[in-house]
Amino acid sequence: MSGHRAPSLLLNDEQKMLSKTAHEFIRERAPAGRIRTFRDSEDQVGFSRELWNEMAELGWLGLQIPEEYDGLGLGFFDLCVVLEQSGRELMPEPFVSTLLLGTQALLLGGTEAQKKTLLPGIAAGETLVTVGYEEGGRHGDHSKVETVARESAGGFELSGEKIQVLDGHLADRIIVSAATSDADFTLFMVDPVQSGVTITRQNRIDGLNSAIVRLDRVSIGRDSIVGDLDGGAKLLRAVFDRASVGLAAQMLGGSEQAFADTIEYIKEREQFGVPIGSFQALQHRSVSVFTEIALTRSVVLAAARAIDEAPDDVPKLASLAKATASETFLHAAKEAIQMHGGIGVTDEHDIGFYIKRAQAAYMTFGTPSQHRQRWAELHGY
């Protein structure tokens, strides 16, 4: 932000209502403990299709999708209002894969045909689109891509392996990065039913669903290119910026809920004949978490607003939001366990799910130190 007339960081009346409705719906229908149920029942889907469809009917999945593709045509800011609430209960539904990766890749780089084919289904809750970008041994550097796309008669032939592709086990389309020249890579739309595609489900700590996607000489046409040929790095960066902000909104929600549960707990739990929340050692730790959450809320709202209104500010603010929310969520989750004491480290209590999600989110779309490095570069030092 250079000019520094601060953007509006408040929710309007409709957004406040949306936030309240989403909060109540999610708290009642999607408590964090579902993560345990999906895990222990070895559920093949790993989330609730039924709930996803209901949210589609409420209009939440198409909030930001333009009306011409059957969405509501509102802003990314509105989407973040729902994402924050989904984060409070660590929902494993495909928000990140489909609404943050797939949808943003389509909106930013998709052809008219691709958008027409996929966006209405996304808004309706029927279609899942994800992006496969992670490869082994890269440690968060997505600029170098081992998967290759060789030009062939009708288009390209893709070979390589993507790991931890979010919702790759169910996605209707997987957008993958593949090297097309020495200098750059390209994003390609792959239909997983094609021959040469092998999907292997993975299990992570955080309850999000993911899969290894193996591509063995998968033939696709030129119309499968998303964005420009050799333009993958720039497009993926832009997708990550938006996805970072959306994920930061979820992390904000996760931090708030872990903190709220902790405050409630230390008001009730008694030791030495008094509530442990009366001890200054815990009070000051609590205020630190409260402070970090307040700061995080400001940067998340500013970054979400910039996506809708000030595109030039997005790179800086996205890095600010991702770095800040990552640190805050992990801090809030660690403090939540510490202040819950023994019960906090048992699988029986839900509070332990927060640190797992926090660690996963911290590592996704760039770590805080990677974003600080980018921030320094963007500020010319």
List interacting residues with another protein (CB under 8 A).
1, 4, 6, 8-10, 263, 266-267, 274-275, 277-280, 282-284, 286-288, 290-291, 294-299, 301-302, 320, 323-324, 369, 372-373, 375-377, 379-381
Nearer CB in complex with another protein: 25/279: 279
Nearer CB in complex with another protein: 101/266: 266
DSSP code per residue over 257-311: HHHHHHHHHHHH-EETTEEGGGSHHHHHHHHHHHHHHHHHHHHHHHHHHHHHH-G
The single residue listed with the structure tokens 């990065």 is 177
> Is there a contact between 132 and 142 (Cβ–Cβ < 8 Å)?
no
Nearer CB in complex with another protein: 129/247: 247
DSSP code per residue over 144-159: S---EEEE-SSEEEEE
Question: Residue 98: which of 114, 76, 121, 81 has the closest Cα?
Answer: 121
Question: Residue 295: which of 329, 264, 266 has the closest Cα?
Answer: 329
Nearer CB in complex with another protein: 338/369: 369
Nearer CB in complex with another protein: 38/375: 375
Least Å from the CB of residue 295 to another protein: 4
Nearer CB in complex with another protein: 1/199: 1
301 C-beta neighbours (distance < 10 Å), count: 24
The single residue listed with the structure tokens 């996704």 is 364
> Is there a contact between 65 and 127 (Cβ–Cβ < 8 Å)?
no
How far apart (Å, rounded) are the C-alpha atoms in residues 46 and 99? 17
Least Å from the CB of residue 243 to another protein: 19
How far apart (Å, rounded) are the C-alpha atoms in residues 58 and 135? 36
> Is there a contact between 368 and 362 (Cβ–Cβ < 8 Å)?
yes
Nearer CB in complex with another protein: 1/45: 1
HSE-CB at 83 with a 13 A cutoff on CA atoms is 31
The single residue listed with the structure tokens 């796309």 is 149
Nearer CB in complex with another protein: 115/374: 374
